[in-house]
Each structure stands twice: as C-alpha cells, then as structure tokens.
C-alpha cells in the first residue's frame, strides 16, 4: 500500500520513508502542503497519509478539511503528526477530519501499529465500496446482458425528458425487437438465445456514445435512449444499430447464425410536448409498422401527424 508522507523537515521525512519501506509500504514524499494537496488530487493518490501538523503552504488541518469536504476524492486515512502536541492540537486535528494523531518523536513500534490499523481501515473501506457498487449494479442492470433493467432505463428516460423540458433539447428513443428470437431458442436452445441477446447488447454498446443508454425493456425487446437527438440523428443511429447486428453472424455452440432486428423510433421535442408514456407509445406504433413492412428495418414515428413514417428499410421478408 502506498503512503503519502507530507513533512517539511527532510531528516524526519527520510526517517519515516525508511521505516515505512522496511515495513513493506511504498512511499510518496511531499515537502510542503501545496505539494501534498496536488498529490491527493490525483486519481491514484495514496490511500494512507502521514501529515505534519505544521507545513509551508497549506497546513495539516487545512488539508484534512479539504479532503473531507471534497466529495470527488477517494477515501484517505489521515494520520497527523505534531512535534509539539497539545490537547487543543489533538482536538483541532480530529475536528478537521484526521483519523489519528501522533506526538513526535514517536516510538517506531507504536507508529507501525497505528499505520497497520489505518491500512486495515482502508482495506475495509475499499471492500465496502466494491460491495456497494456491486449491489448498485445488480439493482439497476440486467444480469444477462449488462444493459440497464426496465426500471432503470425508464428512470433515465424520465430524467432526460425533464432535462429536455428545461433545456429545450430533443430526446429520442428507439424500441427494438429481435426478429424471430423464439426460433433461435426453439432451434438452438435457450442458452444459445441468451448468448445471442448478450452479444447483441455488446455490439450495440460499441456503436453509440457513452452517455446514450441501452436498457432491456422486456424479453427480447430493448430500448435505447438518445439525448439531444433529432430525426436525422435517430435515423443515423438506428441504422447503425441495425447494421451492426445484421452484418456479422453470431457464433453459438455448433452454429453461426444471422440475426436481424426491427426498430421503431420516436423523438420528443421537449417534456412539455410529450410525456414518457406518449413517446413510448409512438415508438411502439412505429415498431409495429416496421414489422408489418417486413422486419429488419427502422421506422421513425412522425409526432406531427400522429402516425409513423418509414424512415429507412433493410432487406424485406426477414
């Protein structure tokens, strides 16, 4: 584990570096408070910090306060050291956000025990963060495909519509149905069907922007939410999604198969003009028409006519 040592006394700093290295830690020195703060702003900042109470530039208490008040920083365990420790200094250090306080000179065995305690707390914090992130992902993502689950994609769509109403920007959705997916399950088994559906989401995710979202709407239906998306954009994105699935065969146990998708798109100019339910109903109507016209195609609904118009088509008769 890496340890930041912030101390303006070079002799004291070198002694701490040697001791920590002997105990198996990797050290990163800083000669003043400003340098220490720059190190802590890095994404890969050391999680353990030994901080002198008095430093040129930013002092120990100020760095502690900044660490605790900066939500974007990774968790750091802060051990404050002071050459002239008083009860008030100790109280001020803990009030500023320090985790531990040591009066120097300190017995090295005691210091090692305190650093080891800090390491255990950092490890517990890391494990808790990993577990929390895993639970959060399980609550919001489909376990098979990794796409957002229905509840999560609906929340994101509602958030985009609210933002669109505030900013006056359009929101697009594409409702997608995998063509003849039941036949894949019937002919090759449900495990093969699961693999195909998972690969479809992976291919789709590779050809949209990182802030555009894919959700599993139900069964073999998928929903894509596109922010700041007009009719031309939704046509371009929809065709790209359709082609990335149909243009390359899917490898499943014992076979290579072609899979196509049918897509229905719709655009809301703002949340004031169209509700979430109306937007999805419009996309669903466009999807139904695309199926009637032969599948493997994109149809975009025209909200001004309240009826879908054919935006583009692939091969018919799929």
145: in domain: no
pTM of the model: 0.65
Measuring CA to CA, which residue among 238, 101, 98, 120 is closest to residue 175?
238
318: in domain: no
Decide: helix, strand or coil at residue 122: helix
Least confident of 23-27, 60-64, 105-109: 105-109
Measuring CA to CA, which residue among 172, 168, 195, 169 is closest to residue 184?
195
Residue 272 clears pLDDT 70, i.e. is over it: no
Whether 294 contacts 318, CB under 8 Å: yes
Question: Of 110, 140, 170, which residue constitutes the final position of a domain?
Answer: 140
What's the CA gap between 1 and 74, in Å, rounded?
Answer: 14
pLDDT digits (tens, 9 = 90+) for 33-91: 999 999 999 888 999 999 998 899 998 889 999 998 886 677 889 999 987 777 888 88
Question: Of 140, 167, 197, which residue constitutes the final position of a domain?
Answer: 140
- pLDDT, average across residues 145-163: 93
Same domain, 207 and 254: yes
Tokens of 1: 């584990």
Same domain, 117 and 197: no
160: in domain: yes
Question: Of 93, 108, 140, which residue constitutes the final position of a domain?
Answer: 140
Tally the domains of the chain.
2
Same domain, 135 and 243: no
Decide: helix, strand or coil at residue 217: strand
Domain that holds residue 8: 2-140
pLDDT digits (tens, 9 = 90+) for 227-264: 988 889 999 999 999 999 999 999 998 899 999 999 99
Whether 302 contacts 279, CB under 8 Å: no
**pLDDT (0 to 100) of residue 165:** 83
β partners of residue 52: 81
Confidence label for 270 from pLDDT (cuts 50, 70 and 90)? low
**pLDDT (0 to 100) of residue 144:** 92
Whether 171 contacts 234, CB under 8 Å: no
């Amino acid at each position: 584990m890496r340890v930041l040592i912030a101390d303006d006394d070079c002799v004291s700093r070198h002694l701490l570096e040697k001791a920590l290295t002997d105990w198996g830690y990797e050290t990163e020195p800083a000669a003043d408070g400003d340098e220490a703060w720059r190190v802590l702003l890095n994404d890969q900042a050391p999680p353990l910090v030994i901080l002198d109470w008095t430093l040129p530039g930013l002092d120990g208490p100020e760095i502690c306060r900044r660490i605790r008040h900066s939500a974007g920083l990774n968790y750091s365990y802060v051990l404050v050291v002071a050459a002239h420790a008083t009860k008030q200094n100790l109280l001020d250090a803990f009030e500023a956000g320090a985790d531990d306080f040591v009066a120097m000179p300190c017995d090295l065995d005691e210091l090692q025990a305190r650093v080891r305690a800090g390491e255990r707390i950092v490890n517990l914090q890391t494990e808790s963060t990993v577990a929390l992130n895993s639970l959060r992902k399980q609550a919001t993502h489909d376990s098979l495909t990794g796409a957002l689950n229905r509840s999560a994609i609906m929340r994101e769509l509602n958030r985009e519509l609210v933002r669109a109403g505030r900013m006056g920007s359009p929101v697009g959705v594409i409702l997608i149905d995998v063509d003849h997916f039941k036949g894949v399950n019937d002919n090759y088994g449900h495990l093969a069907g699961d693999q195909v559906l998972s690969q479809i989401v992976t291919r789709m995710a590779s050809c949209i922007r990182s802030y555009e979202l894919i959700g599993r709407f139900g069964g073999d239906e998928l929903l894509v939410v596109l922010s700041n998306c007009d009719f031309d954009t939704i046509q371009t994105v929809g065709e790209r999604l359709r082609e990335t699935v149909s243009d390359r065969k899917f490898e499943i146990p014992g076979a290579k198969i072609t899979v196509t998708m049918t897509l229905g798109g719709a655009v809301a100019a703002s949340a004031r003009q169209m509700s979430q339910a109306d937007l999805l109903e419009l996309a669903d109507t466009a999807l139904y028409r695309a199926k009637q016209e032969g599948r493997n195609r994109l149809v975009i609904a025209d909200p001004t006519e309240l009826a879908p118009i054919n935006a583009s088509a692939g091969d018919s008769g799929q």
